[in-house]
Structure formats: C-alpha cells, structure tokens
Structure 1
C-alpha cells in the first residue's frame, strides 16, 4: 500500500510540473487524438441528456468537461493536479453555472464520496485510469456515487496493443518488384500490471507515470463492484486524415468501455 501511495504522490507531482505545458498544448479544443479518437465515441456511449449530472474524472484542463456542458449536462470535474484545476477554471468562466471544478485525488475513496452519494447519472474518465496508481478506490466509490442504472464510460490506451516496452515495426518488402510497406507491433508484456514512465507530448517538462493493466483486470474489477459491460468501441484513425508513418487504421490505439451499475435485487 505504501508503494502505491509513493507512486501516486510522485505521479501527482509530475502532473503538476507538466500542467501548464499540457494546457498550453491542448488549448480549448484539445489535439487530433482527442477530437477524432476519444471525444465522438465517448459521447456516443455516454448519450448525454439535458440536465444530467455527470462526474468528469481526472478532467485535466477541462476540455471535455466544457463539452459536456455544451451538451446540456451539469458537471462536477475533478483532478488531483491543483495546477490543472487552476488552468481549467481560467478556461471555463463562461460556464461556471453548470460546471464545478474540485481538486480531488480519486485514490481517496472518502474524498470521492463527499461529491454526493447516488447523485450522478454518469461518470467519465478520458484516458485517465492509465494515469492513476490504484483504481480500486474509484470503482468502489462509483458504485455508491452513481444512481441506479448509472453508467461509467472510460477510455484507456488499448492494453493489448500498447503495453510497456512495446515496439512499433515498419517494414518494406520487395515482392516481385512490388514494394509494399507493412506495419506491426511487438508486445513483450501484457498480463502483469505494472507502472512505467512515458512521454505523452514531445517536449513536456518531465515524463509521467502510466499504469498498465490487462483487459481482464479492468473488467473483473468492474464485475466485482456490480457493474456490467454493455458498450465497447475500439476506434482507429481515419486513413485519409492520418499522416503518421505508423498505421493505426487496423490496430486500435485505444479502447472505450461503458459499464452500467447493475440493480441489486
């Protein structure tokens, strides 16, 4: 337990160090990855209705929080980086009536429960669980925070295709004078949960921690806390818009899951 707390504290420190850089880079509309891969599919699974109360977990600079307000939701957005929350507030002055930001460490179950028991219609975590050292307190709390039949939508780097020490391979093959390019992935670790350091944006002040977990880890934890899986999307980039060398058209970089709170008879 102390090891996870130390990792969590260091992770928080690194995100505070990176906060201003990330906010400047993401701006008001975020990057292509969020706009094309994350946002539209997450909105599809959330199916936001006017007046719903939604919890945005690890909200960063509040890009998606503000989008939820535009869709008609009332939003409570939390992040453990106080500097991220400061930046989010500066970008959200016009939406303050429907959007409340709080500094909250979601590895602390008691702090989460203070947000309001059975008051949220939905919760969302965009590319956030991979940055959280221990997600068990969050799952325990969501079981209590969400209303009956409430949903939790989250996206993570696809653990089957993006694990620690993975390798992108780009090959050129001359097949009877027909030159073909092929891309593939080499995976060396999958089943064992583990932390590792990564760079999300080139030039950020410091690396940040990411926490790899298998699909079965996420799903079994959800089932343990009385959630069922009722939605899943494995999005890829649109080929006509993507200019990177590596082919993420047939290999999804992320997975987005919808969990629904099961009614207990």
Structure 2
C-alpha cells in the first residue's frame, strides 16, 4: 500500500515517513511541487505519487497570524484541502484529512464528540472547518480526523518550546485554564496507518468525521510540568512552571477553554486505542533530550 502525505516538513508527515512499516510505503509531497497556496499545483503533484490513499496533512497553522492573513489561511486550509480531496476522488482513492479541536468554541463542560455543534472562535478554526466541508463535498470516501495539541520530535511545537525556554530560564509562565488532550504526531501516524490498513481491506462504511486524540487530559501548565519533570529525570533542562490565566497572556486569536476530544468513535470503528498522553509525551521528550542534550539547570 502506498500513501501520499501532503506537507513534507510537517509533524504528521515526518512521523508517517518514520513510522511506515511492512508493505506500507509513505511518500511525502510538499513545496514547491505541491503548494496549497497555489491549488493548481495539487493534482499533478499527487498524481505523480501514484498513491492508494492520500493523507491531507499540510495546513496553514499559524493560529495568531491567521487573524491578519485570513485570505491565505482559507486558501490553504479550505480551497487547498478541497483540491486535495478532489484529486483523490479523480484518482479513485480515499482521502484522510487532518482537522483540529479549534472548530469548537470550548464552551462545553465535557469532551467533544463528533456530533457536537461547531463554532470556531478564530480565523484558523473557521478555515479548518471550511476545509472539512470542502473535503466532504469533494470526496465521499473521506476520513476527517480532528486532533488536538499536536507535538512531536519534529518541527516547532509546545514540547520543543518548553525545553528551549527551560534551558534559558528558571521560571516559565504557562496558561492553566485551557484544557485538552496533548497528542503525539507519532501516535497520529500510527493511527492513520492502522486506519489505512482497515480501509484497504474494507471500503465500506468507515468513512466520516472522527476525533483522534490522546487518552487523558490536562491543561497547558500541567503539560509543561510533565515535559520538564521528564526532561529533568533524563538530565535535560528544567524550570519552574508558574500558572497564569488566559487573560494574563493575550493573543490575537481566541483559544477554546475546553479542547477535550472523545476518540471513542474512532476506537470503536478501527480498533485502535490512543496511548495515555503522559506516556507518549515522555517518549518524545526522551528523543529530543537525547538528540539535543542541553545542560540541566
């Protein structure tokens, strides 16, 4: 089975390439040959990859910057995503599209399920929701996977930021009133490979919208403490975490106070159980500290 994943430098794309196993081949397709800001590049780039399934992972992810670049965010996350799904349909293959917890407003007091009403607070969230709609309209053979708080050993993400800051500071202020499921891109890749194998065997009724996030929940400051406690145990950098409120750390884009996602539907459909976030975070921290040792503080 051959998977083409959009976004050569993205966290999920890098994780998929690393995680490919057995008879699965993963080909990452990205700029300049495929550029979602230029949707006309999509078909030829993906056609050349000759995939059995397309994983639509590339996206505009600068949440605050999107408030000033609405047109670009919608071009990439909506029009571009729709073109990827349309290309998959033209080629007669399914598309697995990654979306976000930011399609919700965070007002619910429990974990979101797939049937909950969407109400994004930000341009980024709205553009990703528009992308979901474009994907569903372009290709009935779609899996839309909403995930949350993604991190990995690759690229820019919260784990790497905390380790970098801890190497330079004694104390870091982190928001404590936003809750969610920190989700490793390595786990997302494993789940996608598992789902792709199921789809290759059974092309029946598995298509639709699913939530895919780690088991367990925490807030950003709790996530930060676990990252740095793990780092300290491994001889890496450490700093104190000071809890602050969202109001104390103003950003251009509003974030949902509750980003928790229930992955029960995905687990039931594909038989894949998400690891606990603490276990997965420890794996990623261990890799980063081993690859980039920094004297502990």
Establish whether TM, by shorter chain, passes 0.5: no
TM (norm. structure 1) is 0.40
Normalised to the residue count of structure 2, the TM-score between the two structures is 0.36
Structure with the larger helix share: 2
